[in-house]
Structure 1
Amino acid sequence: MILSANDLKTKGISFVEKLIKKYNEVFITVRGKKKFVILPVEEYEKLKEAELDKIIKEAEEDYKKGRYIKETAEEHFQRLGI
């Protein structure tokens, strides 16, 4: 479901809650372009968990294939230019 920022402003969060119950996500547009999305917290948490799972799998794969660097904290900061 798409909702304009102006509609959000005039109709309020109770209207958004009704839309979320019906569509499970609401896109907010600003000047006709999608700018934000509103999700139930449960859906957001699922997305974050999936993202973390993907990152862990990528890190495990990198480790298996030797794509990592052994260095001290000082060397790491120097490499990063900090």
Structure 2
Amino acid sequence: MSISAGELKKKGVSIIQTKLDKMNEETITVKGKDAFVVMNMEHYNYLRECELEIALQQAKKEYEQGHFVKESVETHLQRIANEL
């Protein structure tokens, strides 16, 4: 179930709270199309932790495969400047 923009305009934040008491997240629709997702902070923080864990695993995998550069700070800064 989603919240329409019109419903949100009429009922305000209380409609979000009512929906989030039952679910971790809720979709807000605009003109009948999904436009936004709202969620409680606990669920948001959980998802951020999941993203960070995946990023850490990817970085470890790349390191183990030798996909890294070992260089001085000066060389690193110059390489970044050249890539811009």
1-structure distance, mates of 2:43, 2:19: 15
What are structure 1's unaligned runs of at least 5 residues? none
Equivalent residue for 2:79, pick from 59, 75, 81: 75
> Structure 1 residues 35-44 or 66-75, which shifts more?
66-75
SS of the residue corresponding to residue 26 of structure 1 reads strand
TM-score w.r.t. length of structure 2: 0.86
Please name the residue that 1:48 is paired with. Answer: 48
Alignment identity in percent? 36
Q: How far has the Cα of 1:75 moved from its partner?
A: 1.2
What are the equivalent positions in structure 2 for 1:1-82 lying under 5 Å apart?
Answer: 1-71=1-71, 72-79=76-83, 81=84
**Residues 36-60 of structure 1, C-alpha deviation per residue, up to 9 Å, x if partnerless?**
1111100000000100010011011
Number of residue pairs matched? Answer: 80
